[in-house]
Structure 1
């Protein structure tokens, strides 16, 4: 089968609909020039561009693994977009987010996943736990599941807290082979009984070529904001190498998850 390079569409934001005041990132529902609604993640909010990079890589890895993710798009915000916004805090956010942002297709009518009311089979739970351990995603807990039920199916959202190594990249090689202790708080850990089977399956899917194709989606404009790297490509390359090294040593984070699950049950 031909390996198709993943692509993201680019839309222009035409209307700010309403803020979603959740966490520190202040996402919003916005309308674009394709007449669809999106959950817009702003480059000027919270952890800024690093959160957008984690959102992009995490979302596209989830999609590559066959997990349900709303479509991700690049969202262009023009210079004068927030000029008539009456809320000063939102106006500041829009002003600092001019340029290319990231957005997820809005799943109208979706409800938040409730671990007490919604059941997840053991294979799906194992797939999500494995992926979050790979990505070091700390934000899939019972308090904040970052999963939705839409048309009776489970959808993943919000990967902006993943890949936290990129907040201190100097020792990325060391961080790539560390266990992920926070997996003990994962909302689906108790059901994740098939981690070894999923590990073998998913490592075959996430080839170096696939990883590099996903990382290649990061816009140049989101990279090299400090003096850590000599070039944009050197910065981009660390994301690929981090994930490739973590995959090559996946038994470390798989064992950590298995031990944490045994402690639960």
Structure 2
């Protein structure tokens, strides 16, 4: 497992993302379990990013990373230092995008059809309530490539929210566009989630009172509900 060796830079954001260096010498973005909704957010981001990345979406890959108990936590503000102390143990590392620029000004309707379909598919399946006009959660790298980021607020662990509608959330940037025949949604429906369910750290699941079989059933039920809803 990766181990945090150095904190390089703090970023703005409700989840307190941090640029880090790990024991393999590489750079990642760290998201800590002490922030926001804790382990629930890490599980959601882990599964969404792993699925999207492996299918081929422009979504950063992720993996667990350890903040050791003896890690020197005095770095930023008192609030941040307290957050690090609360996050000793297994957290989440996202691949670092070189020369990244967030909060980019883009014309949403100008995104190519492939990217739009990928966004709609991943956000619909995993019920992302946090891709809005005010916060579109896109990132652009030095080549101009746009990345789809920030999936800790997806609500696929909340089964009641999963079954509300055949549409994207009402605040979504593409709320008025259909998803039924989205080719990338079909790829998600056909995806084998099992390898990534097995990779979810047990400590995260314990923190929110779930087991791996619960994740398995939630995802299986979501697939079955979508197939049934769109076949009628």
Is 1:222 matched with 2:204?
Answer: yes
Is 1:62 matched with 2:38?
Answer: no
Is 1:17 matched with 2:15?
Answer: no
SS at match of 1:52: helix
User: What's the CA shift for 1:131?
Assistant: 1.5
Match of residue 181 from structure 2: 196
Is 1:37 matched with 2:23?
Answer: no
SS at match of 2:169: helix
SS at match of 2:181: helix
Match of residue 190 from structure 2: 205
| TM-score normalised by the chain length of structure 1 | 0.76
Q: Which moved more, 1:135-144 or 1:178-187?
A: 178-187
Q: Which aligned pairs between 1:2-151 and structure 2 lie closer than 5 A?
A: 10-23=1-14, 25-85=15-75, 87-112=77-102, 113-116=104-107, 119-150=110-141, 151=143
Aligned residue pairs, count:
229
SS at match of 1:102: strand
Contact preservation (8 Å) 1:40, 1:101: yes
User: What's the CA shift for 1:83?
Assistant: 4.2
Match of residue 243 from structure 1: 219
Structure 2: runs of 5+ lacking an equivalent: none
Stretches of 4+ moved more than 4 A in 1?
A: 192-195, 251-255
The structure-2 alpha-carbon separation of the partners of 1:203 and 1:29, relative to structure 1 and needing over 3 Å to count, comes to closer
User: What's the CA shift for 1:75?
Assistant: 1.4
Structure 1: runs of 5+ lacking an equivalent: 1-9, 167-171, 230-234, 256-265
Q: Highest CA radius of gyration, 1 or 2?
A: 1
Q: Deviations over 1:192-221 (max 9, x none)?
A: 566414267325532xxx112221110111
| TM-score normalised by the chain length of structure 2 | 0.85
The structure-2 alpha-carbon separation of the partners of 1:219 and 1:57, relative to structure 1 and needing over 3 Å to count, comes to same
User: Aligned partners of 1:148 and 1:117: how far apart in 2?
Assistant: 13
User: Aligned partners of 1:119 and 1:41: how far apart in 2?
Assistant: 30
Contact preservation (8 Å) 2:2, 2:23: yes
